[in-house]
């Protein structure tokens, strides 16, 4: 059966799904024998390209990207179990591009590439429009894969050549940069007698993944994958099951320590006189940082707009809500994990984008990324970072990473930043919309200090080819700062800017800075995949509504159509529970981890994150919840504000 271009060989309630992509001129039926050879715990599907078999009346695709976009759309709902992609020959490129487009929509656990050179390599495909049918058939005989009896039938051969010519044209049009990569590990499969490819050429695939890379060989030629289904099934099963074991969530294992075990470790260490390096009360870190950071650095991180009323209101909104715990609910074992943007996260917490982190520590975002990876939480990298997005990706391991974008007025620079994020394995874009103009921040103004005007926090621009192309002198630091100031943010941007971004990338786009329910509806109408309810931590508009107070109306406005996140004021595990009870799917933590960074580098960030997760784990248990899914609105109450005395 073929639905949405995907053939399902057997519906199996297995642990994993394997989706196969055919070679040039091939169809989904090429994988029939392999599907039969695989065990019952692997459900097998194959992509049916247009122009062949059940879809023979449709025109063939003109590009690899067209095939990948259609496949990614069809597979975007396949996020309920681990997903593996297998592409043979041309299908390896389609699988690779599909995996890139699935970031944030469905998690790809591994990509298998068979009998294919790397995406950025020169495939040396002939110009089929200059070849006769006889020459095309000679090429088919060289590679094998088509029985001689089939080639002896003129009508069948003509149909194969029609499909093959269209697919080779698509291959010749395909272009891929050296830095384009998938976040999933890659296994390359090659026949030992493949006349078209060599083991040395397969090594080039390593540059196209941020995960591990392996090469497996099989006896046979270019079509060894399809000619030896039993051996291939054994290879695939071994690899898939190993990945399933490795990716099993640690929180589900009985012997894995719960985040709350941090409390026991701290108290036991205290018997030897050891104390935590920083306070576990994250609300106190600001005062500690005040005495340790330079005045400029502290003013930049802690500063808020105007009188600071919005910043204070953010905290007051959390403190005003009170928890109403439930008892005797059997919460001895808890799972903090959630699914968000097609990926499973160990907790409903992400690290918020904070610009220019090198202001507080020379390693800046690199140290933060390493700490986030150690804990397993996604890091959202700011456009205005002190290190380039490629450098940060190199420190992030296999943990999901998102890229926050301030939309530049120069759309070529905007597109270049997005392309770099895609190529570096970022799995979502966070478009910040509440900072078209810089807020009035007295702490920074009183110090007459901006890190950006001093060349800090603009690394993603100074390393960007589109940005540098617009410089009169790329070696002049002052010219770089001037151009950054001119184009880094587009104050004229409207909802068309979101629509433009949606067209520019296949990554999910979250819109950050939403407070009004009507804006939430508009964001969804213009293609947002998710929202972040935020007032920028009180740094933009003084006197605006606290983010937590705005959350219920925004959540109601989108009615579950897209996930809703929240930042601004989160300081504790109980804050996370309150946000989830009011309609958030996850929260973003900002200033506390930056204070940790400034006070103790990577170890400080990791301390902050583990403290928050331990608090959240215990708060779940003490409210009677075994997981975030158990958090309901009736867990909190919002007492009325005290009435003022009447004169």
The pLDDT tens digits of the residues spanning 360-414 come to: 999 999 999 999 999 999 999 999 999 999 999 999 888 899 999 999 999 999 9
Residue with more model confidence, 282 or 159: 282
From CA 634, how far away is CA 215, in angstroms rounded?
A: 54
pLDDT 10s digits, 258-281: 899 999 999 998 998 889 999 999
pLDDT 10s digits, 248-260: 544 344 456 789 9
From CA 48, how far away is CA 498, in angstroms rounded?
A: 32
What local confidence, expressed as pLDDT, does residue 250 receive? Answer: 41
- The candidate with the shortest Cα–Cα distance to 42, out of 235, 286, 227, 289, is 235
pLDDT 10s digits, 54-90: 898 999 999 999 999 999 999 987 777 889 999 999 9
| Domain boundaries of the chain, sorted by first residue | 2-248, 288-622
For 526-540, give one letter per residue: b (16+ CB within 10 A) or e. bbbbbbbbbbbbbbb
From CA 461, how far away is CA 474, in angstroms rounded?
A: 11
Residues 6 or more apart whose Cβ sits within 8 Å of residue 122: none
Ramachandran angles phi, psi of 616, nearest 5°: -65, -45
- 2-248 folds as Rossmann fold (3.40.50)
Cα Rg of the chain (Å, integer): 27
What local confidence, expressed as pLDDT, does residue 248 receive? Answer: 57
Determine the distance from the C-alpha atom of residue 342 to the mean position of all C-alpha atoms in its chain, rounded to a whole number. Answer: 9
**pLDDT surpassing 90 at residue 638:** no
From CA 647, how far away is CA 638, in angstroms rounded?
A: 27
Alpha-carbon separation of residue 63 from 21, 100, 164, 367, 500 (angstroms): 15, 16, 13, 40, 22
What local confidence, expressed as pLDDT, does residue 247 receive? Answer: 62
Helix axes 154-173, 133-143, angle to 10 degrees: 80
From CA 312, how far away is CA 537, in angstroms rounded?
A: 10
Helix (H, G, I), strand (E, B) or coil at 217: strand
Residue 282 — very low, low, confident or very high, per pLDDT cuts 50/70/90? very high
pLDDT 10s digits, 34-43: 999 999 889 9
Helix (H, G, I), strand (E, B) or coil at 345: strand
Residue with more model confidence, 13 or 225: 225
Residues 6 or more apart whose Cβ sits within 8 Å of residue 338: 344, 345, 347, 348, 585, 586, 628, 629
- The candidate with the shortest Cα–Cα distance to 160, out of 175, 171, 148, is 148
Task: Provide the sign of the torsion angle of the four alpha carbons 608, 612, 617, 618, taken in this order.
Answer: positive
Least confident of 242-256, 415-429, 469-483: 242-256
- The candidate with the shortest Cα–Cα distance to 88, out of 158, 167, 142, 141, is 167
Residue 451 — very low, low, confident or very high, per pLDDT cuts 50/70/90? very high
From CA 315, how far away is CA 304, in angstroms rounded?
A: 13
* Contact indicator for 259, 613 with CB cutoff of 8 Å: yes
Same fold? 2-248, 288-622: no
Could you count the other beta carbons within 10 Å of the beta carbon of residue 646?
4
Residue with more model confidence, 107 or 591: 591
Element (H, E) at 532: strand 530-533
From CA 467, how far away is CA 460, in angstroms rounded?
A: 9
From CA 319, how far away is CA 427, in angstroms rounded?
A: 34
| Average pLDDT value for the chain | 91
What local confidence, expressed as pLDDT, does residue 107 receive? Answer: 78
What local confidence, expressed as pLDDT, does residue 145 receive? Answer: 76
Beta-strand runs (E) in 52-135: 83-88, 108-114
DSSP 8-state code for residue 182: B
What local confidence, expressed as pLDDT, does residue 253 receive? Answer: 47
Could you count the other beta carbons within 10 Å of the beta carbon of residue 237?
17
Could you count the other beta carbons within 10 Å of the beta carbon of residue 405?
23
End-to-end CA distance of the chain: 78
Least confident of 200-204, 207-211, 465-469, 498-502: 207-211
Long-range contacts of 580-584 (CB under 8 A, 24+ apart): 580/348, 580/628, 580/631, 581/631, 581/632, 581/633, 581/635, 581/636, 582/321, 582/548, 582/551, 582/552, 582/555, 582/633, 582/636, 583/551, 583/552, 583/554, 583/555, 583/556, 584/348, 584/533, 584/551, 584/555
Pairing of strands 343-345, 338-340: antiparallel
Average pLDDT over residues 312-327: 95
From CA 432, how far away is CA 493, in angstroms rounded?
A: 11
Residue 14 — very low, low, confident or very high, per pLDDT cuts 50/70/90? low
Ramachandran angles phi, psi of 213, nearest 5°: -140, 130
How many CA atoms does the CB half-sphere of 485 hold within 13 Å? 13
Residue 643 — very low, low, confident or very high, per pLDDT cuts 50/70/90? low
Catalytically active residues, by annotation: 536
What local confidence, expressed as pLDDT, does residue 642 receive? Answer: 53
How many CA atoms does the CB half-sphere of 539 hold within 13 Å? 24
Percent of the chain with pLDDT over 90: 71
Burial label for 609, CB within 10 Å (0-12, 13-18, 19+), is: buried
pLDDT 10s digits, 549-578: 999 999 999 988 999 999 999 999 999 999
Out of 3.20.20.70, 1.10.3720.10, 3.40.50.2300, 3.30.450.20, select the CATH number for domain 288-622: 3.20.20.70
């Amino acid at each position: 059966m073929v639905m949405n271009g995907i053939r399902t060989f057997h519906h199996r309630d297995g642990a994993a799904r394997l989706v196969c992509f055919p070679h040039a001129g091939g169809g989904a039926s090429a994988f029939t024998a392999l599907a039969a050879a695989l065990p019952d715990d692997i459900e097998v599907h194959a992509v049916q390209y247009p122009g062949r078999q059940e879809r023979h009346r449709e025109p063939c695709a003109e590009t690899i990207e067209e095939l990948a976009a259609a496949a990614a759309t069809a597979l975007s709902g396949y996020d309920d179990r681990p997903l593996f992609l297998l592409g043979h020959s041309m299908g390896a490129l389609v699988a690779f591009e599909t995996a890139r487009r699935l970031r944030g929509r469905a998690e790809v656990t591994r990509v298998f590439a068979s009998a294919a050179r790397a995406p950025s390599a020169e495939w040396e495909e002939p110009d089929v429009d200059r070849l006769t049918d006889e020459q095309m058939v000679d090429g088919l005989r060289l590679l094998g894969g088509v029985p001689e009896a089939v080639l002896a039938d003129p009508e069948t051969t003509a149909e194969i050549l029609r499909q093959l010519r269209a697919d080779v044209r698509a291959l010749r049009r395909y272009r891929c940069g050296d830095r384009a990569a998938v976040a999933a590990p890659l296994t390359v499969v090659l026949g030992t007698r493949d006349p078209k490819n060599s083991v040395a050429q397969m090594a080039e695939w390593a540059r196209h993944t941020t995960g591990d890379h392996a090469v497996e060989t099989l006896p046979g030629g270019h079509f060894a994958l399809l000619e030896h289904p039993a051996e291939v099934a054994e290879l695939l099963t071994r690899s898939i099951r190993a990945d399933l074991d490795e990716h099993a969530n640690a929180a589900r294992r009985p012997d894995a320590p719960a985040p709350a075990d941090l409390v026991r470790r701290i108290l036991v260490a205290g018997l030897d006189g050891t104390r935590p390096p920083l306070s576990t009360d994250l609300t106190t870190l600001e005062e500690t940082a005040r005495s340790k950071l330079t005045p400029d650095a502290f003013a930049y991180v802690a500063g808020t707009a105007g009188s600071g009323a919005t910043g204070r209101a953010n905290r007051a909104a959390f403190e005003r809500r009170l928890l109403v715990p439930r008892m005797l609910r059997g919460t001895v074992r808890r799972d903090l994990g959630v699914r968000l943007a097609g990926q499973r996260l160990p907790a409903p917490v992400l690290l918020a984008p904070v610009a220019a982190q090198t202001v507080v520590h020379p390693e800046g975002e690199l140290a933060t990324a390493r700490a986030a990876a150690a804990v397993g939480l996604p890091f959202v990298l700011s456009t205005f970072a002190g290190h380039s997005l490629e450098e940060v990706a190199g420190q992030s391991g296999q943990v999901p990473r998102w890229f926050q974008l301030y939309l530049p007025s120069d759309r070529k620079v905007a597109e270049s930043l997005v392309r770099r994020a895609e190529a570096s394995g970022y799995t979502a874009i966070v478009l910040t919309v509440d900072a078209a103009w810089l807020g009035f921040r007295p702490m920074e103004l009183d110090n007459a200090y901006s890190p950006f005007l001093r060349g800090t926090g603009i690394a993603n621009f100074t390393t960007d080819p589109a940005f540098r192309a617009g410089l009169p002198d790329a070696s002049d630091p002052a010219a770089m700062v001037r151009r950054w100031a001119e184009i880094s943010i587009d104050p004229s941007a409207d909802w068309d800017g979101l629509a433009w971004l949606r067209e520019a990338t296949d990554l999910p786009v979250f819109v950050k800075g939403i407070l009004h329910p009507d804006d939430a509806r508009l964001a969804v109408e213009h293609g947002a995949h998710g929202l972040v309810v935020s007032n920028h931590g009180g740094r933009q508009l003084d006197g605006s509504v606290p983010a937590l107070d705005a959350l219920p109306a925004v959540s109601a406005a989108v009615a579950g159509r897209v996930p809703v996140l929240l930042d601004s004021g989160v300081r504790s595990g109980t804050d996370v529970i309150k946000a989830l009870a009011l309609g958030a799917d996850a929260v973003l933590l900002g200033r506390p981890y930056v204070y940790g960074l400034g006070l103790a580098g990577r170890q400080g960030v990791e301390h902050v994150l583990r403290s928050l997760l331990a608090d959240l784990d215990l708060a779940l248990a003490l409210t009677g919840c075994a997981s975030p899914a158990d958090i309901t609105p009736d867990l909190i109450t919002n007492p009325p504000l005290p009435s003022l005395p009447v004169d």
